[in-house]
Amino acid sequence: MKNILSDNKEDNIFFKIDIEGSEYEILSEIVYFQNQIIGLCIEFHSCNKNLHQIIKFIENFNLEVVHIHANNYKLPPPNEIPDVLEFTFARNPNIKGDFKGLPNALDMPNKSKENEIVLNFNS
């Protein structure tokens, strides 16, 4: 990633990252090159185990979280963070709404025969 972005001087890059648990290995590079990125969709695995890394990434990444979707391939126990969360970030988003409850009508479950995982956010 570093080699590709070092050679590329564009500042309108959109990434879709789904690398099955290896996303943690490139988070610092994403932050380092964040000024070149306008959008990012990233799937985080083992969220309970890696929650501190996810929070640190969000705090250091200058794009805004515009959507979160819980992947329902493995339903979590009550009151636990889902194992896999899909985040979407955008630079200067033009989105109106709130995060009171997710999923929304555009989300699709990973396992179609299982219920979606509902995310609720307290203010």
Residue 105 above 70 pLDDT?
A: no
Dist. CA 105–CA 62, nearest whole Å: 27
Place of tokens 């985040």: 87
Does residue 50 sit within a domain? yes
Asked if the structure places residue 18 within a domain, the reply is yes
Task: List the domain range (segments joined by +) for residue 52.
Answer: 2-92
Tell me whether residue 119 is in a domain: no
pLDDT in tens, 10-35: 788 888 989 888 899 999 999 999 99
- In the block, tokens 């630079």 appear at 91
User: pLDDT, tens digit, for every residue of 43-94?
Assistant: 999 998 999 999 999 999 999 998 888 888 877 777 788 899 999 999 988 7
C-alpha span between 108 and 123 (Å, rounded)? 26
Asked if residue 64 belongs to a domain, the reply is yes
Q: What is the CATH number of the domain that holds 62?
A: 3.40.50.150
Asked if residues 94 and 105 have their Cβ atoms less than 8 Å apart, the reply is no
Residue 105 lies in a domain: no
The proportion of the chain whose per-residue pLDDT surpasses 70, expressed as a percent, equals 88
The tally of domains found in the chain comes to: 1
What is the pTM for the complete model shown? Answer: 0.83
DSSP conformation class of 93? -
Least Cα distance to 17 among 47, 37, 34, 42 occurs for 42
